[in-house]
Amino acid sequence: MELSSKWKEITARAGYSAKTVMYVMLGVFILTSVFTALNREKASQSNVFITLKEQPLGQIFLGVLVFGLVCYACWRWLQIFITDKSDDDSLFVHIINKLFFFISGAFYFVAAYAGGKTLLEVQSSSSSQGSGKKVSEFLMQYEWGLLLVAAIGLCIIIFAVVQFKHAYTADFLQKFSLHALNQRISKSVKITGRLGYTARGIVYSLVGGFFILAAILSNPSQAGGLQKALETLMKQPFGPYLIAAVGAGFVMFGLYCALEAKYRKVK
């Protein structure tokens, strides 16, 4: 039993460490995208993998990152079975939480697969924006496709609202044994968490809106991911500052994940 618990902890902490690398690098790409549209195209998960691979000993680092993403995906699915229902949560909320664990795990398995393809030099032309467009194009071939695209958009919007909720209430602090941490670390967890969840909420709100707009207009080209979200922000008043804020928020979320890897309760 003790050995099983130890492996759970190793799996979780390896996963949070991998998220640290991915979000910090994404945040840096977003920050540099303020200067040129070319850099904006680099603000994608695939370019995180490519850039990491191009570094000295890059194949080893990328292999470790892919392994970490697989660990995190496994941890999320493991949480489906080991997370008990809270006395404060209804059965509906409990089921939604388990569904979220499943979707989150699936997302990071896909990310690990993409990283593995980069490691093995399997070329792929899809970007975060192109992937969203391809998904909507595929679904809209069917009669029920418009409804499903709209449903995906709504789910992403709901997920964005949850991110804003975490940022506002700081309920993520419950994941840590704050009494065992010094004041400096506790404050770092709170600040990085709030800024990181806010940045994620902004991006997911835009992405969800793109899917809903694509369904309303029956136009799959309206769908998009991170790159399209950045393009939309750039067109707003003070656009470069908004993008810089999102990039800084992603870096903060990466640092928050580092604190999770070190201090989060996982047993």
Least confident residue range of 46-55, 125-134, 211-220? 125-134
Confidence of residue 85 (pLDDT cuts 50, 70, 90): low
Residue with tokens 């029956």: 218
% of the chain beyond a pLDDT of 90: 27
* pTM exceeding the 0.75 threshold for the entire prediction: yes
pLDDT band at 9 (very low <50, low <70, confident <90, very high): confident
Question: What is the rounded CA–CA span in Å between residue 230 and residue 242?
Answer: 9
Is the confidence at residue 217, as pLDDT, over 60?
yes
Both tokens of 230, joined, read: 């950045």
Paired tokens of 24: 């910090």
**Residue 242 confidence (pLDDT):** 87
CA distance 255 to 46: 20
Please give the biggest Cα pair distance in the chain: 57
User: Average pLDDT for residues 93-117, to the nearest whole number?
Assistant: 86
Count of residues for the chain? 267
Least confident of 15-19, 89-93, 159-163, 248-252: 89-93
Amino acid at 6: K
Joined tokens for residue 78? 């493991």
Report which listed range, 43-52, 78-87, 142-151, 164-173, is most confident. 164-173
What pLDDT score was predicted for residue 132? 55
Indicate whether 128 pLDDT > 70: no
Terminal-residue alpha carbon distance, the chain: 12
Residue written as token pair 């892919």 = 66
Q: What integer best gives the mean pLDDT of the chain?
A: 82
